[in-house]
């Protein structure tokens, strides 16, 4: 039984899970919004919110606590000076998990994991990607139609050329027959 064993394992060892959550937090602070699986987003939420709460305190001890998880001084400076002040009036709930459906490859539930107040960053990227895919599919379809038209034209030209040759051969045969009949007479 798993009594008092809170949290998701995510199919990883403790150290791997800890490193992954730290990397997800780092990516979230850099990009303000990331796409990941829903269980990973829900698990990373606690780590990210804890780091933002430390950043809101703003003292040296809090900065060192954050540096334990994210050893990037520039990113920690940005967190303390730019991101955390946005949440000074907010008690928790700094992140949002938006479910976006299933991944095509393995059917995993996917979500957009974003900081509240930075909405639309990832949504715009997703829409741009969808637009690119759509344009690419249309382009491919158009090229395929052009190829088919070119092949059809080639076939028609070949058929016309063969027809001409057949007519020419028939004329030659006819001319030979006429010559032979004339020679016999």
* 42, 8 Cβ separation under 8 angstroms: yes
pLDDT of residue 123: 73
State both tokens at 29.
């602070």
- pLDDT under 70 in the chain at which residues? 185
Please tell me the predicted confidence (pLDDT) of residue 99.
94
Residues 110 and 133: their CA atoms lie apart, in Å, by 19
Q: What residues does each domain of the chain span? A: 14-119
Residue 124 pLDDT = 77
CATH superfamily label, 14-119: Ribosomal protein L17 (3.90.1030.10)
pLDDT for position 185? 65
């Amino acid at each position: 039984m798993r009594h008092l064993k809170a949290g998701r394992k995510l199919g990883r060892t403790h150290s791997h899970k800890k490193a992954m959550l730290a990397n997800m937090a780092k990516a979230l602070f850099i990009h303000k919004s990331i796409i990941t699986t829903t269980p990973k987003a829900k698990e990373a939420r606690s780590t990210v919110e804890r780091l933002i709460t430390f950043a809101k305190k703003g003292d040296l001890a809090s900065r060192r606590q954050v540096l334990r998880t994210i050893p990037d001084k520039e990113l920690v400076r940005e967190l303390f000076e730019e991101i955390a002040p946005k949440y000074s009036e907010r008690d928790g709930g700094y992140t949002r998990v938006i479910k976006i459906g299933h991944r095509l490859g393995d059917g995993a539930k996917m979500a957009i994991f974003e900081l509240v107040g930075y909405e639309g960053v990832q949504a715009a990227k997703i829409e741009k990607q969808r637009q690119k895919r759509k344009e690419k599919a249309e382009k491919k379809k158009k090229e395929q139609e052009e190829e088919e038209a070119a092949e059809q034209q080639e076939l028609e030209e070949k058929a016309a050329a063969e027809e001409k040759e057949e007519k020419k051969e028939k004329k030659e045969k006819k001319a030979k027959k006429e010559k032979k009949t004339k020679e016999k007479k």
